[in-house]
Amino acid sequence: MAEEKTDSKKRHGKRAMQARNGHKNAVYMLGMIGASVYYIHFHSGTFWLVILAVLKAIIWPALLVYHFFILLQM
């Protein structure tokens, strides 16, 4: 009985954390869709170029932060 209460508290806390961060995921997803459209527009030709475009769309935030940090060092 005691285990059930602690398990439900852990699950409830996890759900509450996901609900608080939901808007960040939505903004990231919109950015990824926009980047996919942008990159696919320029890389549409062969199957592998489309795959490359999708991969670029997934990692563009990391590249943005990386180049921002490089800019701050100079």
Domain boundaries, the chain: 2-73
Question: pLDDT tens for residues 44-70?
Answer: 788 888 888 888 888 888 888 889 989
Backbone angles phi, psi at 10, to 5 degrees: -65, -45
Q: Output the pLDDT for position 13.
A: 56
Which token pair is 70?
A: 């490089």
Backbone angles phi, psi at 21, to 5 degrees: -100, 15
pTM as predicted: 0.51
